[in-house]
Amino acid sequence: MADSLPTLPCMCATLRRASRALTQLYDEALRPLGLRATQFTVLQALSLAGEVSQGELGQLLAMDSTTLTRTLGIMGQHGWIAKRRGQDRREWRMRLSKSGEAQLKRALPHWQKVQGRLRTQLGNELSDKLLKLTDKVTSAVTELQYPHQEKLL
């Protein structure tokens, strides 16, 4: 099927198509845990970043605040996120709760299986290049959208 996909002239359309396909693959692998790929991504990001504000997390994931708020709300209902007020009373600081750490630990083998299948399909060199390229695309787009915003990483 991959060879029959038409080349789309738009970077946005091409990356969104790839994103949808990847999301479906990861959602299927994580479904037995009652976890979505977006939720796994937030668990993983919080595990790497430690305690962050919602704004910092949104910037780290290049995720709009409405989608992030909805995802964090669902994750909070599951008890996967621990929140506390920041110095500014309007700010919330969040991190993984013990339950969130346990959920991430349960999900890792499912995620690793999908990662391994993709690396086998694409090859290690292309997989590594793809990760670097998508990071560069995200950085370039973020710079175009928010040229004066302070970078997290």
Summarised one tens digit per residue, pLDDT across range 16-27 is 999 999 999 999
**Rounded to two decimals, what is the model's pTM?**
0.88
Which pLDDT belongs to residue 91?
85
What CATH number does the domain containing 110 carry? 1.10.10.10
In a domain, 39, yes or no: yes
Is the pLDDT confidence value at 151 over 70? Answer: no
In a domain, 51, yes or no: yes
- Residue tagged 């710079």 (tokens): 143
In a domain, 44, yes or no: yes
Summarize pLDDT for 107-135 with one digit per residue, the tens.
999 999 999 999 999 999 999 999 999 99
CA-nearest of 29, 23, 45 to 116 is 29
| Total count of domains within the chain | 1
Cα angle value 141/3/29 (rounded, 5°): 70
In a domain, 100, yes or no: yes
Is the pLDDT confidence value at 99 over 90? Answer: yes
Domain that holds residue 67: 21-145
